[in-house]
Amino acid sequence: MPDTLLPDTAMSITRILPGQPAAIAEAAGLLAQGHLVAFPTETVYGLGADATNAHALAALYAAKGRPRFNPLIVHVPDTEAARKLARFDARAERLAAAFWPGPLTLVLPRAPGCAVAPLASAGLDTLALRVPRHPIAQALLRTLDRPLAAPSANPSGRLSPTEAAHVSAGLDGKIALILDGGPCTVGLESTVVGLAGPQPLLLRPGGIAPDAIAALIGPLGLPPDEAAQAALLSPGRLAAHYAPSLQVRLGATSVDPNEALLAFGPNVPAGAAVTLNLSPTGDLLEAAANLFAHLHALDRPGLRAIVVMAIPDEGLGLAINDRLRRAAKPRAP
Ligand code: AMP
Ligand code: MG
């Protein structure tokens, strides 16, 4: 599986193809094999990765050069596809009926058995979903027939792209293909509304006015302090809410029999109650793909702690260590 990803980083020039049916079919094929494809939506160009493929998602974070794992928006062709991934209540149904397809993202509780890899939502038990209106995005989603994770198609910290040329200026050589649909019409990002709790929250202002949303489901709250920072200033901080219930100890070189070991690389200390290896070969892309699933699997009642071996602070290792440091922060029992 990981070898299908290597050509994305080894390629020196990313092709740009007009978003015609043959190019859309090729893009869907590349995505299904785990490659990254940029495509137009009505808001900005998205950088797509198969949301069910953790390796493809790890490659997406690597291509954007994000220093942390922000939860991603997952794109689907219609509300019916969205209902398979997340739990819709009456508010979600009303907003979907009014604004989908369109520049609205709903954050909802994950459905049981949700096919989206945990890395897409940075380990959170919620999922951000959107149905884009753009005809190329629609055609791509219907051809692919899988949920597509897509943050804006720019390197971390740079402006969101509203033309294919902006995408290639930032990501040339790092992704398989760019579908060109001309300039985006909205040019603003989607409005993100949180519906995971009783109070609807405006998590990010965007292409749909909060008043139009409030008219349907009542006034929108602002997220509590830390979440406000997270949503408005630095989306990745949201993930601070995710932590295993066991204590987490970093940089372990030895392990006790009542501890779970999250290993990395070939030289693994023996003696843990249970061991899972992020990547026996020391591959950071594989480690990122496994991070949240392994943390969940090791978070077992009855054990004393999850101990984690050292992971190099480079490339995707930066985002992995960022997340692990937060999971290891002391917290109230
Ligand atoms: P972008 O990466 O530019 O597409 O932005 C994605 C936006 O969606 C950010 O503001 C994230 O904080 C927000 N988001 C994605 N998933 C979630 C989630 N599960 N909970 C809360 N906000 C989310
Ligand atoms: Mg962005």
d(CA 37, CA 40): 10
Domains of the chain plus CATH, in order, are 8-233 (3.90.870.10), 247-328 (3.40.50.11030)
Query: Side chain identity at 170, as an amino acid letter?
Result: G
Rounded to whole angstroms, how far apart are CA atoms 124 and 40? 27
The residue among 128, 137, 24, 58 whose CA lies nearest residue 316 is: 58
pLDDT at 240: 40
- Residue 327's pLDDT is 86
SS3 percent helix, strand, coil of the chain, rounded to 5, is 35, 20, 45
CA 58/CA 190 separation, integer angstroms: 23
Residue 25 has pLDDT above 70, yes or no: yes
Q: Residue 51: what pLDDT?
A: 98
Find the 16 Cα to ligand 1 centroid distance in Å.
Answer: 27
Of 326, 130, 126, 134, the C-alpha closest to 237 is: 326
Place of tokens 């954007």: 64
224-279: pLDDT as tens digits: 765 555 554 444 444 444 578 899 999 999 999 999 999 999 999 999 999 999 99
Strand partners for 129 = 74, 106
pTM of the model: 0.86
Q: What is the mean pLDDT of residues 40-49?
A: 96
Residue 120 has pLDDT above 60, yes or no: yes
Residue reference for tokens 């997406």: 60
Looking at residue 242, what is its pLDDT?
57
Phi, psi of 201 (to 5 degrees): -120, 140
| Ligand 1 pocket, residues with Cβ under 6 angstroms | 70-73, 105, 107, 121, 124, 126-128, 151-152, 189, 192, 194, 203-204, 231, 235, 238
Say yes or no to pLDDT of 94 above 90: yes
Indicate the pLDDT class of residue 195, thresholds 50, 70 and 90.
Answer: very high
Residue 201 β-bridge partners: 194, 221
Q: What is the pLDDT of residue 23?
A: 98
Question: What was the pLDDT predicted at 232?
Answer: 47
Question: 68 C-alpha to center of ligand 1: Å?
Answer: 13
Q: Using one digit for the tens of pLDDT, what is the confidence trace for 269-282?
A: 999 999 999 999 99
